């Protein structure tokens, strides 16, 4: 059985918590994390074995291998992220 590929939107506190929690699941693979903060992305790419760490949201929505998107941004941009999918 193939693992479930996950993308996480936003790498703040909630995003990092999701990254940790998905990492505990044997059938989950966090493939991508998106955030606009380059410093945060560099930190996470050094700490975790992520395939894609990006500040380009299009990399998330154009990736056909993503099965689940966990939106961990503040509430106000949720609609904008979800309506582009």
pLDDT digit string, tens, across residues 1-52: 789 999 999 888 999 999 999 989 999 999 999 999 999 888 888 888 788 8
pTM: predicted TM-score of the whole model, two decimal places: 0.85
β-strand partners of 71: 9
Distance CA 85, CA 76 (A): 17
Using CA atoms, how far residue 26 sits from 2, 47, 58, 63, in Å, is 11, 19, 27, 22
Q: Which domains does the chain have, with CATH numbers?
A: 4-83 (3.40.50.720)
């Amino acid at each position: 059985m193939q693992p479930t590929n996950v993308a996480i939107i936003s790498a703040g506190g909630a995003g990092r918590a999701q990254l940790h929690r998905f990492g505990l699941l044997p059938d989950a693979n966090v493939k991508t994390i998106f955030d606009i903060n380059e410093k945060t992305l560099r930190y996470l790419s050094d700490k975790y074995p992520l395939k894609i760490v990006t500040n380009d949201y299009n990399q998330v929505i154009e990736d056909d291998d993503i099965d689940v998107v966990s939106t961990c941004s503040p509430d106000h941009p949720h609609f904008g992220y979800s309506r582009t999918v």
